[in-house]
Amino acid sequence: MSRPTLGNPQNTIEILQKYQFTFQKKFGQNFLIDTHVLDKIIRAADIGKDDMVLEIGPGIGTMTQYLAEAAGKVIAVEIDKNLIPILTDTLSGYENVQIINEDVLKLDIQRLVEEENAGRPIKVVANLPYYITTPIIMGLFESHVPLYSVTVMVQKEVADRMQTGPGNKDYGALSLAVQYYAEPYIVANVPPNCFMPRPKVGSAVIRLTRYEKPPVEVEDERLLFDIIRASFNQRRKTLANGLNNSDRLDVPKEAITEAIQQLGKGPSVRGETLTLEEFAKLSNSLWQYMQ
Ligand code: SAM
């Protein structure tokens, strides 16, 4: 095993020049060049030699080197074929790293965990490509991939959305979906100068610790999420209107009115004031009409 050699601007520039690499904007390529931030991510991810880590988008392998030092095994999935020779070079000192040249959204992660970790839960760690943050995170949770935690760099605004509750302007379907599956914790805010090239937005590291069992019980997960989506689709409308206008909810108007009343709320209540527990209650009241 060798010590990490990447993580500072000089070495990153050297590697990029050696391979005449050009950044592809469409892949959300902003590489980390700050060793303090890298240390923070690794500490927050709480990785040990028993862990298998899935890294999404290793770039030139900066964080991968740190992960390989800490974990038993690292699987790094990178879409950009131009980065593969670089990764083969920068990770040549690590025997516990497997590089996969694939679009992570097309990868059967469930099968990967089955084959490479005997179905035992993994830890996901990444400096995510921001253009697909939500599909990556929701895909991991909704497909029920065995997971301990997801520790990721995301756009600051998205981290806030994942962590916030009712009454906040950032509260929405993503907050509820994430909080149904995991406990969010913002580890650090990260300014643009920690990346090459600098992104236009601020970033944050968030750790999502997967619940063994969701904090609320629902008869039908899909119905819960259909209701949540319908409630936030038309933000300026009342909850009742949002639900009545949804083409995925075939429920009589009276049933919606009654279910809202049962929550102890008035007819003009808006979806953005409801907690996850209240959405779960609403979903269980309406479930009988969907049978
Ligand atoms: N981990 C590196 C770092 O911290 O320096 C790079 C992070 S960069 C923000 C995002 C990485 O994800 C890039 O290397 C990009 O090519 C890769 N990527 C973008 N879309 C992807 C996808 N659909 N599947 C796998 N990797 C992807």
Using the predicted structure, report yes or no on whether residue 4 has a pLDDT greater than 80: no
Q: For domain 9-210, give the fold.
A: Rossmann fold (3.40.50)
Q: What is the whole-number distance in angstroms between the Cα of residue 56 and the centre of ligand 1?
A: 6
Same fold, 9-210 and 221-290: no
Confidence of residue 269 (pLDDT cuts 50, 70, 90): very high
Average pLDDT of 100-116?
A: 96
Q: What is the whole-number distance in angstroms between the Cα of residue 243 and the centre of ligand 1?
A: 38
Using the predicted structure, report yes or no on whether residue 1 has a pLDDT greater than 60: no
- Binding residue numbers for S-adenosyl-L-methionine: 30, 32, 57, 78, 103, 127
- pLDDT (tens digit, 9 = 90+) per residue, 147-160? 999 999 999 999 99
Interior/surface letters 239-264, b for 16+ CB within 10 angstroms, e for the rest: bbbbbbebeebebeeeebeebbeebe
- pLDDT (tens digit, 9 = 90+) per residue, 173-230? 999 999 999 999 999 999 999 999 999 999 999 999 999 999 999 999 999 999 999 9
Instruction: Give residue limits of the domains in the chain.
Output: 9-210, 221-290
Using the predicted structure, report yes or no on whether residue 266 has a pLDDT greater than 70: yes
Using the predicted structure, report yes or no on whether residue 76 has a pLDDT greater than 60: yes
- pLDDT (tens digit, 9 = 90+) per residue, 277-286? 999 999 999 9
Give Cβ neighbours of residue 122 (< 8 Å, ≥ 6 apart).
51, 52, 53, 54, 113, 145, 146, 147, 148
- pLDDT (tens digit, 9 = 90+) per residue, 43-56? 999 999 999 999 99
**Which residue's alpha carbon is nearest to atom 11 within ligand 1?**
57
pLDDT value of residue 233: 82
Look up residue 151 and give its DSSP letter.
E
Neighbours of 177 (CB within 10 A): 21
Ligand 1 atom at minimum distance from 57 CA:
12
Confidence of residue 65 (pLDDT cuts 50, 70, 90): very high
Q: What value, to the nearest 5°, has the Cα angle with vertex 146 and ends 142 and 151?
A: 80
pLDDT value of residue 2: 58
HSE toward the beta carbon, residue 253, CA cutoff 13 A: 3
Look up residue 198 and give its DSSP letter.
P
Q: What is the whole-number distance in angstroms between the Cα of residue 83 and the centre of ligand 1?
A: 10
Q: Which of 8, 21, 31 to mutate to test the pocket of ligand 1 (most atoms within 8 A of CB)?
A: 31
Ligand 1 neighbours (beta carbon < 6 A) = 27-32, 56-59, 62-63, 77-80, 83, 103-105, 127, 129, 132
Ligand 1 atom at minimum distance from 153 CA:
9
Ligand 1 atom at minimum distance from 105 CA:
23
**Which residue's alpha carbon is nearest to atom 12 within ligand 1?**
57
Ligand 1 atom at minimum distance from 31 CA:
5
Burial of residue 234 (CB within 10 Å: 0-12, 13-18, 19+) is: middle
* 214, 171 contact by CB (below 8 A): no
Share of the chain above pLDDT 70, in %: 99
- pLDDT (tens digit, 9 = 90+) per residue, 239-261? 999 999 988 888 889 999 999 99
Average pLDDT of the residues of the chain: 94
**Which residue's alpha carbon is nearest to atom 23 within ligand 1?**
103
Q: Which of 15, 29, 37, 39 to mutate to test the pocket of ligand 1 (most atoms within 8 A of CB)?
A: 29
Using the predicted structure, report yes or no on whether residue 26 has a pLDDT greater than 90: yes
Q: What is the whole-number distance in angstroms between the Cα of residue 129 and the centre of ligand 1?
A: 5
Which has the closest alpha carbon to 131: 267, 25, 264?
Answer: 25
- Residue with the bigger pLDDT between 208 and 237: it is 208
* 22, 80 contact by CB (below 8 A): no
Q: Domain 221-290 is in which class?
A: mainly alpha
Residue spans of alpha helices (H) in 3-83 = 9-18, 35-45, 62-70
What does the alpha-carbon distance between residue 30 and residue 288 come to, in Å, rounded to a whole number? 48
- What is the helix (H) or strand (E) element at residue 283, kind and residue range? helix 276-287
Backbone angles phi, psi at 8, to 5 degrees: -125, 160
Confidence of residue 144 (pLDDT cuts 50, 70, 90): confident
Using the predicted structure, report yes or no on whether residue 82 has a pLDDT greater than 80: yes
Structure tokens at 236: 């300026």
H helix count then E strand count, the chain: 12, 9
Confidence of residue 5 (pLDDT cuts 50, 70, 90): confident
